[in-house]
Amino acid sequence: MAKHYDTLNGPLMQFITEQKIFFVASSTEGENVNLSPKGYESLAIIDESTVCYLDYPGSGNETARHTKSDGRLSMMFCSFDKKPLILRLYGEGEAVSPEGERFSELISLFKEKELDIVRQIIVLNIKSVMTSCGYGVPFFEYKGDRNQLRDWSLIKAKEGTLDKYMGKTKNRLLED
């Protein structure tokens, strides 16, 4: 049976910190839904109504575009071990670029030291929280992070070609 909350509580925050993967979905009118898996230690809980995650380079930047357009953003966390649970967070997203005023405050929440490979930080201002049983989610064993994205990004950043790959100039939010 689904349960609805206005904000995160202690047990839900603990559940989030135990997950090794989460999913982010966004869309705006006239576009496809963008759904992306996220890993690494890239998520931080700011308070019971706010979470954020590090957004690393990728082939697109749909989440930032969608949040700039209408703000809708959802996150989902699933338990893949003994205790089944699905947790969904619904709210409004905001992309904070490294040039943004809040970036230095937010980046301090993370262990990431290679700031050149962080495209932006996505903030979710939570409007609604829902849990469901998760009985249909299969068991999976976590074996570790894939380092390819970070390694590739570090090489490109040191070569000075990462921003070019990303198609970025000064504004890292709206372009693919």
Domains in the chain (CATH in brackets) are 3-166 (2.30.110.10)
User: For residue 57, which of 122, 152, 145, 170 has the smallest C-alpha distance?
Assistant: 152
User: For residue 34, which of 69, 65, 68 has the smallest C-alpha distance?
Assistant: 65
Is the pLDDT at 171 greater than 80, yes or no? no
Q: What is the pTM of this model?
A: 0.91
- CA–centroid distance for 142 within its chain: 19
Name the band, by pLDDT with cuts 50, 70 and 90, for residue 168. Answer: low
Q: Mean pLDDT over residues 121-139, rounded?
A: 97
- Residue-wise pLDDT for 82-108, tens only, equals 999 999 999 999 999 999 889 999 999
Q: Mean pLDDT over residues 148-171, rounded?
A: 82
d(CA 36, CA 43): 14
- Residue-wise pLDDT for 31-72, tens only, equals 899 999 999 999 999 999 999 999 999 878 889 989 998 899
Is the pLDDT at 173 greater than 90, yes or no? no
User: For residue 18, which of 77, 91, 90 has the smallest C-alpha distance?
Assistant: 77
Is the pLDDT at 5 greater than 60, yes or no? yes
HSE-up of 170 (CA within 13 Å, CB side)?
Answer: 2
Is the pLDDT at 176 greater than 80, yes or no? no
| Residues linked to residue 125 through DSSP beta bridges, in sequence order | 50, 92
Contact 87, 16 (CB under 8 A): yes
Tell me the CA end-to-end span of the chain in Å, nearest whole number: 40
